[in-house]
């Protein structure tokens, strides 16, 4: 089908070719390599889930559920939703697919997610996430393992400079209840000075006031009770084990007592890897412990901890991805050579040589295309070479050229 200017992409959806696509693929390739080093098993979960999976896991009152989800009725009349993130689907699969038998389970996934929000730099309506979870482990070691995984991923992407791990504890349920009560008491005394949004949050979710972007709210929040005022000894010990483990592993971190998660199922460790390399300060990877999520989905009490990262945002920050280089570009001269080149291409590729063929143009144009493709060698074959059972192998970096027998070409290119 030819180009049709009347058919445009849906807003916030993007098609990528070349460097941008390579950057995203490089992020995923690096993630898959580090995942395997840490023993995280690859999982796949559906892009489409029953709406209840996200309403129960993310909370009916959150902006994601109330304003940003792609939700619709399918032809059977069921309410379904394109996933806005991956964790809820993995948790649902843990309950419904019998994955409990493998607990504690270290899993990792990546793929598209969808949110109907205003597109902006590094944010799209179809975006892509990396996701890592440890399910069925209550020990601080699981939190440490995940944070070490994230830290090594960012290092291998070359992003360890200018990215800071911010860490906080949200405590256990007793801690959270005490802190929530203390925050309600404190903010109620300042109700008249709070923004309208924060007054609404005071009723529903007072922790979210600490997240407010309103300058007046931020001044009031600066003197609000901290989580440390309410920590139980058990919660304090848990956080101390996590930070000691990070210190042992050489993972640098900084405490951010204002880092919160609004949903009630979050417990203990909360963290974000934050950068200022994208202009305004932004999170490139974030997560925490969510010991109550799987219960919300109808499963048994199951401790879990996980993180997610936006592939587009990471791809914007990395240097140019390593180019996929061609080993050889075939330059056939004449019809007979073109026919022979088709078979030769197949032989080379089956031997593990990355090879392509310049389809058209004179010798000069075809060699120019070989250079543009970043090929190491040009393989020139014409009638004279074929009669002798050989090809001309030209090193495109040095310009050196030599005759090589057809049946030993693959070996010469691999050497």
Residues 288 and 140 in one domain: yes
Residues 156 and 78 in one domain: yes
Compute the Cα dihedral for 249, 250, 251, 252 and give only its sign. positive
Residues 150 and 291 in one domain: yes
- pLDDT of amino acid 215: 87
Segment 246-278, tens digit of pLDDT:
999 999 999 998 888 767 678 899 999 998 776
Q: Is the peptide bond before 252 cis (omega within 30 degrees of 0)?
A: no
Residue 129, annotated as binding a ligand: yes
Residue 12 has pLDDT above 60, yes or no: yes
Residues 68 and 106 in one domain: yes
Do 342 and 356 contact (CB within 8 A), yes or no? no
Residues 295 and 401 in one domain: no
Q: Is residue 261 part of a domain?
A: yes
DSSP letter string, 262-279: -STT-EEEEEEEEESTTS
Segment 338-385, tens digit of pLDDT:
899 999 999 999 999 999 887 776 777 777 777 777 788 989 988 998
Residues 291 and 334 in one domain: no
Among 68-72, 151-155, 327-331, top mean pLDDT goes to: 151-155
Q: Is residue 34 part of a domain?
A: yes
Residues spanned by the domain of 93:
19-172+232-317
Q: Is residue 196 part of a domain?
A: no
Residue 42, annotated as binding a ligand: no
CATH number at residue 150: 3.30.930.10
Q: Pick the last residue of a domain from 291, 317, 343.
A: 317
Residue 194 has pLDDT above 50, yes or no: yes
Residue 285 has pLDDT above 60, yes or no: yes
Please report which residue ranges of 15-172 form alpha helices under DSSP H.
Answer: 19-37, 51-58, 63, 87-96, 140-156
Cα angle value 137/135/246 (rounded, 5°): 60
Mean pLDDT score of the chain: 88
Residues 403 and 258 in one domain: no
Residue 70, annotated as binding a ligand: no
Residues 146 and 260 in one domain: yes
The Cα 178–Cα 270 span in angstroms is 18
Residue 55 has pLDDT above 90, yes or no: no
The Cα 190–Cα 326 span in angstroms is 66
Q: Is residue 410 part of a domain?
A: yes
In the chain, pLDDT over 70 holds for what percent of residues? 93
Compute the Cα dihedral for 21, 22, 23, 25 and give only its sign. positive
Q: Which of 328, 413, 330, 410 is nearest to 366 (CA)?
A: 330
Residue 102, annotated as binding a ligand: no
Helix (H, G, I), strand (E, B) or coil at 36: helix
- pLDDT of amino acid 307: 97
Residue 117, annotated as binding a ligand: no
Segment 37-46, tens digit of pLDDT:
999 999 999 9
Residue 265, annotated as binding a ligand: yes
Q: Is residue 268 part of a domain?
A: yes
Q: Pick the last residue of a domain from 258, 282, 317.
A: 317
Residues 303 and 407 in one domain: no
Residue 51 has pLDDT above 50, yes or no: yes
- Specify the pairing of strand 328-332 against strand 377-381: parallel
The Cα 71–Cα 62 span in angstroms is 15
Among 29-33, 62-66, 203-207, top mean pLDDT goes to: 29-33
Q: Average pLDDT of 236-255?
A: 96
Q: Is residue 150 part of a domain?
A: yes
Which residue's structure tokens are 């040095």?
398
pTM score: 0.86
Which residue's structure tokens are 């143009």?
361
Instruction: Provide the terminal-to-terminal Cα distance of the chain, rounded to the nearest Å.
Output: 42
Residue 87, annotated as binding a ligand: yes
Please report which residue ranges of 98-232 form alpha helices under DSSP H.
Answer: 140-156, 173-188, 196-204, 215-221
Residues 291 and 407 in one domain: no
Residues 168 and 311 in one domain: yes
**Number of structural domains the chain divides into:** 2
Residue 203, annotated as binding a ligand: no
Q: Is residue 354 part of a domain?
A: yes
- pLDDT of amino acid 63: 65
Residue 267, annotated as binding a ligand: no
In the chain, pLDDT over 90 holds for what percent of residues? 50
- pLDDT of amino acid 88: 92
Q: How confident is the model at residue 1 (pLDDT cuts 50, 70, 90)?
A: very low
Segment 389-405, tens digit of pLDDT:
999 998 888 888 899 99
Residues 247 and 292 in one domain: yes
Q: Is residue 7 part of a domain?
A: no
Do 254 and 268 contact (CB within 8 A), yes or no? no
CATH number at residue 388: 3.40.50.800
């Amino acid at each position: 089908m030819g180009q049709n200017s009347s058919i445009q992409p849906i807003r916030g959806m993007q098609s990528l070719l070349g460097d941008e696509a390579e950057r995203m693929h490089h992020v995923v390739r690096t993630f898959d390599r580090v995942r395997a080093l840490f023993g995280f098993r690859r999982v796949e979960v559906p892009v489409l889930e029953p709406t209840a999976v996200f309403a129960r896991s993310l909370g009916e009152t959150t902006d994601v559920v109330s304003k940003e989800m792609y939700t619709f009725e399918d032809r059977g009349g069921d309410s379904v939703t394109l996933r806005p993130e991956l964790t809820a689907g993995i948790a649902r699969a843990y309950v419904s697919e019998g994955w409990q038998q493998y607990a504690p389970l270290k899993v990792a996934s990546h793929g598209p997610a969808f949110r109907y929000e205003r597109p902006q730099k590094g944010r799209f309506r179809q975006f892509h996430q990396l996701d890592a979870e440890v399910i069925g482990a209550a020990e601080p070691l699981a939190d440490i393992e995940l944070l070490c995984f994230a830290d090594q991923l960012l290092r291998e992407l070359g992003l360890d400079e200018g990215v800071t791990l911010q860490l906080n504890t949200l405590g256990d349920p007793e801690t959270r209840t005490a802190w929530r009560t203390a925050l309600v008491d404190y903010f109620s005394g300042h109700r008249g000075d709070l923004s309208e949004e924060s007054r609404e949050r005071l009723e529903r979710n007072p922790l979210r006031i600490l997240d407010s972007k309103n300058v007046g709210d931020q001044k009031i929040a600066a003197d609000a009770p901290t989580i440390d005022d309410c920590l139980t000894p058990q919660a304090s010990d848990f956080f101390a084990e996590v930070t000691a483990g990070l210190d042992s592993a050489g993972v640098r971190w900084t405490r951010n007592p204002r880092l919160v998660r609004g949903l009630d199922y979050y417990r203990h460790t909360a963290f974000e890897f934050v950068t200022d390399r994208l202009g305004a300060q932004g999170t490139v990877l974030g997560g925490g412990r969510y010991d109550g999520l799987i219960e919300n989905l109808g499963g048994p009490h199951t401790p879990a901890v996980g993180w997610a990262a936006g592939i587009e945002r990471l791809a914007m920050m990395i240097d140019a991805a390593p180019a996929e280089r061609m080993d050889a570009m075939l330059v056939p001269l004449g019809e007979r050579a073109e026919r022979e080149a088709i078979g030769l291409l197949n032989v080379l590729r089956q031997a593990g040589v990355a090879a392509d063929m310049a389809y058209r143009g004179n010798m000069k144009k075809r060699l120019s295309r070989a250079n543009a493709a970043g090929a190491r060698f040009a393989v020139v074959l014409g009638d004279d070479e074929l009669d002798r059972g050989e090809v001309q192998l030209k090193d495109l970096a040095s310009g050196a050229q030599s005759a090589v027998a057809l049946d030993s070409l693959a070996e010469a290119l691999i050497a």
